[in-house]
Structure 1
Amino acid sequence: MLIGITGGICSGKTRVAAYWARCFTLELIDLDAICRELLIREQPGWLALKKNYGNRFFTSAGHLDRPCFRTALFSDQALRREINSILHPLAGAHMQDQYRRAKKTVVLAEIPLLFEAGWEHKVDRIVVVYAAGKTRCQRIVNRDQVNRNEAEKAMSIQWPLRRKIEAADHVVDNTTSWFNTCLQVMHLGRLYSAKPDEDRP
């Protein structure tokens, strides 16, 4: 079983996914990590961007200019859709390959753009991590060192979190204490897998 963990930007899905995987000794597929690897020089994503856009998103040394790339994606919806149509299939293939090689029957996958990529049918269950919009906005400001307008723009290019919640099998409410969040994760972990590893922190 492949369980997709998603949510809004800075909702806490990475922390939730890591805690779940650690407590129940599960394999965790990280789509952000897959995408970063795909965009390393000479890797499939890098090659695809180079083929379609020439040097537009690259430094003089041939590496991806991530700030330039990020700005372009945020500011041009048509370009974002075009690039996603190129990169999402590559990332999806890597995810499926990791899942096939997994040694456990239950595998977690942190997929930030699960709904936006149309991957609802690539996973068996969907868990959405929820946090209030104001909280997420402030986290983006702190994490990315951007202003509030830029943070709100980053939030706006994703599906509204309420819409994701309506399409989810389960919701983890990450608005209060981390202890309360952990209780919810433990409940889901027990629901879908064996006893947690009591010796792990």
Structure 2
Amino acid sequence: MNGLRIGLTGGIGSGKSTVCQMLAELGAWVVDTDAISRELTAAGGAAIPAIAEQFGPAYIDADGALDRARMRDLVFRDPAARRRLEQLLHPLIGAETVRRAALAQPGQPVVFDVPLLVESGRWRTLVDRILVVDCRPETQVERVTRRSGLQPEEVERIIAQQATRAQRLAAADAVLCNDGVTLEQLREDVATLWRAWYPARP
């Protein structure tokens, strides 16, 4: 892998996944770390035995997958439990991220879709550019409650656990505003940035 490496991040409900899909359509090779995490914690996933051992069988649902609601409640209440879960998952996610990135074509830009890029503190040295998808916290809450069924206060708790908007913006090499814009306007902004960062393609 010797192409441009882009770290893509944004708060929950920012539209990061939409931007990621647009970048893929433009020719980027996408490595979705959140998808990797979900696969590791699905029924039969590589992380399930260790989660059951560390946290007990109550955190595994009837299908054999991580009980996400129960675990989310635990890590919000107990920072030590959050760290234990991260110590368990992060090495597995990291190894699979490297493996998938290596599947890119020679010279093909790789986009690492990392929800907690700023929080991890290590991605600055692993990517060439950091792209942040940004919107107002009120927009985040409205979008997530509409799509997930979570209550606004639950969404606000999730937002509070993530890096602040200011921290993400400070880490960014470029920012895409996804607040009060149409999907087509966002697509045009993504394409403009793509041409600036990767002029080898139209």
TM over 0.5: yes
Summarize the alignment of residues 34-53 of structure 1 with structure 2, pairs less than 5 Å apart: 34-53=36-55
Q: 1:124 aligns with which of 120, 123, 128?
A: 128
How many angstroms apart in 2 are the aligned matches of 1:60 and 1:15? 32
Aligned match of 1:192: 197
Aligned match of 1:182: 187
- In the superposition, the TM-score normalised over structure 1's length comes to 0.89
Question: What SS does the aligned partner of 2:143 have?
Answer: helix
Q: Which amino acid counterpart does residue 85 of structure 2 have in structure 1?
A: I
Summarize the alignment of residues 102-141 of structure 1 with structure 2, pairs less than 5 Å apart: 102-105=104-107, 106-118=109-121, 119-141=123-145
Q: 2:157 aligns with which of 142, 148, 153?
A: 153
How many angstroms apart in 1 are the aligned matches of 2:61 and 2:42? 13
Aligned match of 1:96: 98
Q: Which amino acid counterpart does residue 27 of structure 2 have in structure 1?
A: T
How many angstroms apart in 2 are the aligned matches of 1:182 and 1:63? 35
The answer to which of 169-178 and 7-16 deviates more is 169-178
Question: What SS does the aligned partner of 1:25 have?
Answer: coil
Q: Which amino acid counterpart does residue 197 of structure 2 have in structure 1?
A: Y
Mapped contact 1:26–1:104 kept (Cα < 8 A): no
Aligned match of 1:199: none
Mapped contact 1:5–1:126 kept (Cα < 8 A): yes
Gaps of 5+ in 2: none
Gaps of 5+ in 1: 197-201
Q: State the number of aligned residues.
A: 195
Mapped contact 1:88–1:117 kept (Cα < 8 A): no
Q: Which amino acid counterpart does residue 187 of structure 1 have in structure 2?
A: T
CA pair 177-95 structure 1, distance change in 2 beyond 3 A: same
Distance apart, 1:174 and its partner CA: 0.9
How many angstroms apart in 2 are the aligned matches of 1:85 and 1:69? 15
Aligned match of 2:82: 80
How many angstroms apart in 2 are the aligned matches of 1:27 and 1:174? 22
- In the superposition, the TM-score normalised over structure 2's length comes to 0.89
Question: What SS does the aligned partner of 1:141 have?
Answer: helix
Mapped contact 1:27–1:104 kept (Cα < 8 A): no
Distance apart, 1:60 and its partner CA: 4.3
How many angstroms apart in 2 are the aligned matches of 1:48 and 1:122? 27
CA pair 29-61 structure 1, distance change in 2 beyond 3 A: closer
Aligned match of 1:71: 73
Post-superposition CA distance 1:52-74 (Å, at most 9, x none) = 22213112453322221222223
Q: Which amino acid counterpart does residue 188 of structure 2 have in structure 1?
A: L
Q: 2:57 aligns with which of 55, 58, 61?
A: 55
How many angstroms apart in 2 are the aligned matches of 1:61 and 1:167? 39
Distance apart, 1:13 and its partner CA: 0.5
Distance apart, 1:18 and its partner CA: 0.5
Mapped contact 2:43–2:63 kept (Cα < 8 A): no
CA pair 38-175 structure 1, distance change in 2 beyond 3 A: same
